[in-house]
């Protein structure tokens, strides 16, 4: 009888232990949910960080695409990304509110993003004020990239801090879980021990019963064994059914998800048989080709293939039959309305359960805009490279012209007025001046020309230049004027604008066949440019026009006109449909237009003439032109030693002869290093230095501060074939005494020396 109380006590413990185990299991479940919540929180923070960086990066990328291509869609995408970035930063701040280290990281991260967004706005404004080249200059691009790298570094710090926080929490959770697992295992051990004890009690209790009761117990045990076996089989079958249902549900979900992705894709996605029969057709295919699913499913894929490309379908089928993929095959297909569309095709074989190829997955992507953008970029790069070449040629040619123009002008000054060779030398000087004008055109095309800006009336300039143009064109060509009076003034270089007018009119006159009467009409009028005007403007070079008031110069001719291939190349340097040796006129025109922030549009029909329309930004206020006072003859003679540093022998020789002619003594050096040596030796008696900008060994920009280090008060005059604007930008605030543009006459050289040295004497 003593075993029965002990058995009841054991059963009581057995009943209490599952309750405790259940409580522990519930606690573990809660810990697991907390850990999942922390993991989810970490994922949200990291996602927010990535989204912030991605928004800034996309805004930067779309702005640069907009600057390169001019497509407004890129600008809108950039502005949308820039607007979403602060919102995402605020969300990140709220997500990390419970983490003080992360809050500090966010406070460092946010100013970088704000600075980057401000930089994007500044780049956009810079492109509108100074053009795309200024906005995409190496300095701007390098600064933008460095700022983007700082943003990425800050985002990595945020990511790493969040990972450290998650790791710390995970370690605490793991330590607690191990403790609970030890308790759980101990409880199970105790339960097993109690079960073993109860078993022994039951065995002793059963042994005290008689034989009949033992036999009955044996039968009951056998029945229990059978029941347990049956329950195990039922549980195994139930688990199999549960797994089968889960696999089926997952398969259905994946199928619906895949179908949703295919249907929402912008690419044309379809399934076709090897014979070409179309079996499926998504909305992307409907947008690309124009067919609705009910119109095309069951038809052959060859209906989308142009006749001249039918061989492509045969090649594609052969590759599919061999089990090969067709990757990114660029070709042309036909829409429902018959229009062609450029696509990139990717096809993959589809196999049946037996492993045989039964069809193909066919993906087509519209690459029309991509190829058009690539062509626009190629043309821009070609014009940019030609501009660099033109600038380099003009610089070297200016050095040669120094010898030609300088020596000829020096010889002309030394001749008697009745000399028989005076006229030929005057012709040499005139030819040199025309050659100098040619180099200015080349510099204008390269964007390195020098403009003297003034407020001018375009109608007045046209009337003034027409008599000069009339003398340069055939008598069979008539010039007509269609001018609007009281036009707003424009800010421009009068000489460059006159050159532009002359080139356009002469180009129009030469387009009229020889001997045939023709008309070239020059029109000026006010033009208001709005968004609608910009959308329909089909210009050769829009130069990023902004809406506003413009002055329009229109030149129309009744000549032979141009076809599309010719019109596409008219602004290329040295391209001409006339005789050899021409072709810089229109190339210089586009350089002048760009330099004045204008736009040029060309429209032409073969056999019906050509129209050039040039837009100049109008000024909201005007002023009278400055009157140039004639210069009085001045004494150019002087005294003292002049150091000439130039890598061109002909320039050094001309400068030496010219300055010695006017009374100076001259020292020469062929590069900056040699010039520095001469200057150190004779610094006390050198009165002025004439320094070339571009030289080997040591450039003028490197030589300049070293000369000043030897003697700070010596006046240094910079001489270059490039413009004064470019030189001034390199030497701003460094104490440059003056600038002398190549090519120059002997008198101009001596006059500049006299002006600078006289100024130095007066200040002394």
Tens of pLDDT, residue by residue over 183-199, are 667 767 776 776 776 66
**C-alpha pair distances (Å), 304 with each of 277, 294, 307, 704:** 12, 16, 9, 69
Q: Evaluate if residue 580 carries a pLDDT over 50.
A: no
Contacts of residue 630, defined as CB under 8 A and 6 or more positions apart, other chains included, come to none
The reported pLDDT for the residue numbered 379 is: 55
How far apart, in Å, do the first and last CA atoms of the chain sit?
A: 133
| Of the listed ranges 4-13, 250-259, 589-598, 696-705, the one predicted with least confidence | 4-13
Answer whether 234's CB lies under 8 Å from 320's CB: no
The reported pLDDT for the residue numbered 540 is: 41
The reported pLDDT for the residue numbered 680 is: 93
Q: Which of 345, 366, 387 is at the close of a domain? A: 366
Mean pLDDT over 738-760 rounds to 85
Q: Evaluate if residue 591 carries a pLDDT over 80.
A: no
Phi and psi torsions of 509, nearest 5°: -65, -40
Select, from the ranges 255-259, 512-516, 677-681, the one with the highest average predicted confidence (pLDDT): 677-681
Segments forming the whole domain that contains residue 164: 3-207
CATH code, 529: 3.30.565.10
Q: Name the 3-class secondary structure at 597.
A: coil
Q: Evaluate if residue 658 carries a pLDDT over 90.
A: no
In a domain, 420, yes or no: no
| Of the listed ranges 282-296, 394-408, 702-716, the one predicted with least confidence | 394-408
In a domain, 315, yes or no: yes
The reported pLDDT for the residue numbered 724 is: 66
Phi and psi torsions of 302, nearest 5°: -65, -15
In a domain, 441, yes or no: no
The reported pLDDT for the residue numbered 345 is: 93
In a domain, 48, yes or no: yes
Q: Number of folded domains in the chain?
A: 5
Calculate the average pLDDT of the chain: 79
In a domain, 347, yes or no: yes
Task: Report cis status (omega within 30 of 0) of the bond before 433.
Answer: no
Q: Is residue 60 located within the same domain as residue 203? A: yes
The reported pLDDT for the residue numbered 444 is: 55
- Rounded Cα distance between 243 and 250, Å, is 10
Q: Is residue 146 located within the same domain as residue 289? A: no
Q: Is residue 114 located within the same domain as residue 166? A: yes
Residue pLDDT, tens place only, 36-50: 677 777 778 888 888
Q: Is residue 194 located within the same domain as residue 215? A: no
Higher pLDDT, 390 or 55: 55
Q: Is residue 519 located within the same domain as residue 553? A: yes
Higher pLDDT, 625 or 166: 166
Q: Is residue 547 located within the same domain as residue 574? A: yes
Q: Name the 3-class secondary structure at 128.
A: helix
| Of the listed ranges 123-132, 221-230, 452-461, 538-547, the one predicted with least confidence | 538-547
**C-alpha pair distances (Å), 147 with each of 111, 114, 542:** 11, 11, 31
Q: Evaluate if residue 596 carries a pLDDT over 60.
A: yes
pLDDT > 70: percent of the chain: 76
CATH code, 288: 3.30.450.20
In a domain, 29, yes or no: yes
Phi and psi torsions of 273, nearest 5°: -85, 170
The reported pLDDT for the residue numbered 12 is: 66
In a domain, 203, yes or no: yes
**3-state class percentages of the chain: helix first, strand second, coil last, to nearest 5:** 60, 15, 25
Phi and psi torsions of 267, nearest 5°: -80, 155
Instruction: Report helix angle 458-470 to 494-510, nearest 10.
Output: 50
Q: Is residue 201 located within the same domain as residue 215? A: no
Q: Evaluate if residue 258 carries a pLDDT over 70.
A: no
Q: Is residue 476 located within the same domain as residue 342? A: no
The reported pLDDT for the residue numbered 281 is: 93
Helix (H) or strand (E) run with residue 49 in it? helix 3-69
Token pair listed for 426: 């005057």
Mean pLDDT over 107-121 rounds to 85
Q: Is residue 201 located within the same domain as residue 219? A: no
The reported pLDDT for the residue numbered 439 is: 65
Q: Evaluate if residue 352 carries a pLDDT over 50.
A: yes
Q: Evaluate if residue 357 carries a pLDDT over 60.
A: yes
The reported pLDDT for the residue numbered 142 is: 75
Mean pLDDT over 147-176 rounds to 78
Mean pLDDT over 276-281 rounds to 92
The reported pLDDT for the residue numbered 711 is: 92
Answer whether 152's CB lies under 8 Å from 106's CB: no
Token pair listed for 268: 């044309």
Higher pLDDT, 198 or 111: 111
Helix (H) or strand (E) run with residue 756 in it? helix 746-763
Answer whether 102's CB lies under 8 Å from 144's CB: no
Q: Evaluate if residue 120 carries a pLDDT over 70.
A: yes
| Of the listed ranges 234-248, 266-280, 347-361, the one predicted with least confidence | 234-248
Mean pLDDT over 264-287 rounds to 88
Mean pLDDT over 731-754 rounds to 85
For residue 50, give the nearest of 143, 158, 166, 164 by alpha carbon.
Answer: 158
The reported pLDDT for the residue numbered 747 is: 86
In a domain, 139, yes or no: yes
Checking DSSP bridges between strand 641-645 and strand 686-692, what pairing results, if any?
A: parallel
Q: How far does Cα 55 stand from its chain's mean position?
A: 16
Mean pLDDT over 602-620 rounds to 88
Residue pLDDT, tens place only, 643-653: 999 988 988 98
pTM of model > 0.75: no
Q: Is residue 19 located within the same domain as residue 168? A: yes
CATH code, 700: 3.40.50.2300
Residue pLDDT, tens place only, 556-570: 999 888 887 777 767
Mean pLDDT over 532-557 rounds to 75
Q: Nearest 10 degrees: CA dihedral of 507, 512, 517, 522?
A: -30
The reported pLDDT for the residue numbered 717 is: 92
DSSP annotation string for 340-407 = EEEEEEEEEEEE-TTS-EEEEEEEEEE-HHHHHHHHHHHHHHHHHHHHHHHHHHHHHHHHHHHHHHHH
The reported pLDDT for the residue numbered 704 is: 93
The reported pLDDT for the residue numbered 208 is: 64
Q: Evaluate if residue 696 carries a pLDDT over 60.
A: yes
- Rounded Cα distance between 639 and 642, Å, is 9
Checking DSSP bridges between strand 665-669 and strand 641-645, what pairing results, if any?
A: parallel
Q: Is residue 583 located within the same domain as residue 726? A: no
Mean pLDDT over 683-710 rounds to 91
The reported pLDDT for the residue numbered 1 is: 47
Residue pLDDT, tens place only, 486-504: 899 998 887 788 888 888 9
Cα angle, residue 653 at apex, residues 651 and 654 outer, rounded to 5°: 65
Select, from the ranges 108-112, 536-540, 758-762, the one with the highest average predicted confidence (pLDDT): 108-112
The reported pLDDT for the residue numbered 705 is: 93
Answer whether 721's CB lies under 8 Å from 395's CB: yes
| Of the listed ranges 160-174, 192-206, 475-489, the one predicted with least confidence | 192-206
The reported pLDDT for the residue numbered 757 is: 86
Mean pLDDT over 97-104 rounds to 81
Burial bucket for residue 681 (CB in 10 Å: 0-12, 13-18, 19+): exposed
Higher pLDDT, 463 or 28: 463
Q: Is residue 169 located within the same domain as residue 281? A: no
Select, from the ranges 27-36, 423-432, 551-560, the one with the highest average predicted confidence (pLDDT): 551-560
Long-range contacts of 510-516 (CB under 8 A, 24+ apart): 510/473, 510/559, 510/578, 511/557, 511/559, 511/560, 511/561, 511/609, 511/610, 512/474, 512/476, 512/477, 512/557, 512/558, 512/559, 512/560, 513/559, 513/560, 514/474, 515/476, 516/476
Higher pLDDT, 371 or 558: 558
Q: Evaluate if residue 98 carries a pLDDT over 50.
A: yes
Q: Evaluate if residue 259 carries a pLDDT over 70.
A: no
Q: Evaluate if residue 265 carries a pLDDT over 70.
A: yes
Higher pLDDT, 602 or 170: 602
Answer whether 369's CB lies under 8 Å from 342's CB: no
Select, from the ranges 184-193, 320-329, 401-410, the one with the highest average predicted confidence (pLDDT): 320-329
Token pair listed for 193: 């021990």
Higher pLDDT, 47 or 552: 552
Answer whether 522's CB lies under 8 Å from 570's CB: no
pLDDT > 90: percent of the chain: 20
Residue pLDDT, tens place only, 203-254: 775 666 667 677 777 877 888 888 788 788 878 877 877 787 777 677 666 6
């Amino acid at each position: 009888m003593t075993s029965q109380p002990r058995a009841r006590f054991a059963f009581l413990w057995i009943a209490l232990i599952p309750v405790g185990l259940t409580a522990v299991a519930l606690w573990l479940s809660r810990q697991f949910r907390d850990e999942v919540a922390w993991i989810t929180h970490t994922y949200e923070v990291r996602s927010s960080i990535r989204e912030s960086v991605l928004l800034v990066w996309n805004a930067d990328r779309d702005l640069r695409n907009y600057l390169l291509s001019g497509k407004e869609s890129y600008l809108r995408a950039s502005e949308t990304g820039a607007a979403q970035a602060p919102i995402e930063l605020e969300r990140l701040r709220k997500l990390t509110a419970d983490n003080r280290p992360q809050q500090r990281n966010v406070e460092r991260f946010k100013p970088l993003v704000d600075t980057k967004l401000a930089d994007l706005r500044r780049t956009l404004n810079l492109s509108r004020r100074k053009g795309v080249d200024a906005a995409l200059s190496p300095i701007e691009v390098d600064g933008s990239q460095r700022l983007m790298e700082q943003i990425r570094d800050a985002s990595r710090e945020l990511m790493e801090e969040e990972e450290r926080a998650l790791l710390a929490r995970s370690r605490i959770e793991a330590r607690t879980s191990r403790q609970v697992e030890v308790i759980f295992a101990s409880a199970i051990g105790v339960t097993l021990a109690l079960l073993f004890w109860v078993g022994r009690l039951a065995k002793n209790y059963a042994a005290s019963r008689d034989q009949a009761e033992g036999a009955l117990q044996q039968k009951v045990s056998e029945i229990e064994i059978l029941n347990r076996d049956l329950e195990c089989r039922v549980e195994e079958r139930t688990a199999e059914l549960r797994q089968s249902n889960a696999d089926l549900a997952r398969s259905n979900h994946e199928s619906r998800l895949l179908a949703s992705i295919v249907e929402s894709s912008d690419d044309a996605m379809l399934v076709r048989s090897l014979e070409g029969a179309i079996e499926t057709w998504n909305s992307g295919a409907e947008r690309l080709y124009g067919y609705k699913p009910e119109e095309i499913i069951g038809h052959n894929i060859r209906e989308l293939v142009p006749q001249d490309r039918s061989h492509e379908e045969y090649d594609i089928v052969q590759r599919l039959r061999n089990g090969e993929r067709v990757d990114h095959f660029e070709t042309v297909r036909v829409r429902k309305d018959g229009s062609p569309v450029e696509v990139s095709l990717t096809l993959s074989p589809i196999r049946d359960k037996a492993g045989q190829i039964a069809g193909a997955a066919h993906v087509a992507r519209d690459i029309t805009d991509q190829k058009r953008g690539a062509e626009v970029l190629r043309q821009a790069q070609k014009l940019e490279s030609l501009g660099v070449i033109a600038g380099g040629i003009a610089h070297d040619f200016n050095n040669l012209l120094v010898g030609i123009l300088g020596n000829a002008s020096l010889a002309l000054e030394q001749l008697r007025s009745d000399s028989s060779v005076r006229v030929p030398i005057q012709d040499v000087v005139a030819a040199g001046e025309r050659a100098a004008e040619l180099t200015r055109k080349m510099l204008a095309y390269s964007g390195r020309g020098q403009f003297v800006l003034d407020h001018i009336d375009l109608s007045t300039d046209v009337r003034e230049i027409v008599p000069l143009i009339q003398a340069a064109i055939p008598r069979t060509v008539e010039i007509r004027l269609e001018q609007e009076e009281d036009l707003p003034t424009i800010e421009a270089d009068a000489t460059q604008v006159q050159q532009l007018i002359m080139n356009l009119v002469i180009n129009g006159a030469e387009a009229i066949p020889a001997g045939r009467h023709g008309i070239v009409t020059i029109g000026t009028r006010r033009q208001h440019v709005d968004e609608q005007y910009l959308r329909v403007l089909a210009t050769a070079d829009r130069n990023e026009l902004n809406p506003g008031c413009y002055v329009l110069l229109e030149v129309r001719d009744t000549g032979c006109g141009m076809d599309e291939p010719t019109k596409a190349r008219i602004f290329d340097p040295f391209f001409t449909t006339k005789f050899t040796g021409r072709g810089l006129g229109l190339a210089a025109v586009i350089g002048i237009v760009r330099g004045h922030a204008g736009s040029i549009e060309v429209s032409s029909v073969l056999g019906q003439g050509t129209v050039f329309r040039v837009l100049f930004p109008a000024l909201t206020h005007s002023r009278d032109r400055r009157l140039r006072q004639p210069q009085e003859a001045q004494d150019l003679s002087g005294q003292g030693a002049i150091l000439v540093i130039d890598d061109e022998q002909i320039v050094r020789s001309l400068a030496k002869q010219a300055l010695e002619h006017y009374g100076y003594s001259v020292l020469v050096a062929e590069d900056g290093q040699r010039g520095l040596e001469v200057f150190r030796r004779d610094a006390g008696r050198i009165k002025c230095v004439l320094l070339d900008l571009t030289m080997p060994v040591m450039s003028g920009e490197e030589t300049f501060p070293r000369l000043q280090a030897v003697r700070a008060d010596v006046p240094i005059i910079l001489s270059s074939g490039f413009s004064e604007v470019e030189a001034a930008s390199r030497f701003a605030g460094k104490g440059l005494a003056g600038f002398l543009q190549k090519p120059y006459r002997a008198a101009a050289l001596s006059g500049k020396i006299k002006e600078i040295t006289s100024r130095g004497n007066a200040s002394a």
